[in-house]
Amino acid sequence: MESFTKVLSEVDAKKQTAIPSKFVEHLPYNEGGKTQYFPVVDVSGKEWEFGYYIRSAENSPYPKPVFQGDWHRFASAKKLVAGDRIVFRMEKNAAGNQRYSIAAQKRIIKLLGQVIWGQEF
């Protein structure tokens, strides 16, 4: 199971969120310059239609993939703000089919330099 976690910035929570470039190899193929959509399931079982976009090399010397599509609706529905965290996973079922899931977590407290996160929702 491949995954990444990300503490959200204000832009992430309100508009779109950057995806680690190394994780793109685990997402559906994207030629770049257009949005590739795919289903993502949250921990409650609700399905979202996320998209990811990679800026073409013509537009940016550093192509940066970002989540779009239902990302903003997901962040809004979960009331995500800067400082919250997401956990994004690519899983395979017994038949070998890929499935993407996402969970959100609120920061509970920072104790002795360690962040304590709430339950995934």
CATH number 3.60.15.10 given to 2-117: no
Delimit the domains of the chain by residue range: 2-117
pLDDT in tens, 63-104: 788 999 999 999 999 999 999 999 999 988 778 888 999 999
pTM: 0.85
Q: How would you class 23 by CB atoms within 10 Å of its CB: exposed for 0-12, middle for 13-18, buried for 19 or more?
A: middle
Q: Is the pLDDT of residue 114 over 70?
A: yes
Q: What are phi and psi of 72, to 5 degrees?
A: -65, -40
- What is the pLDDT, as a whole number, of residue 75? 96
pLDDT in tens, 41-59: 999 999 999 999 887 666 6
By 3-state DSSP, what share of the chain in percent is helix, strand and coil, each rounded to 5?
Answer: 15, 45, 40
Q: What is the DSSP letter of 60?
A: -
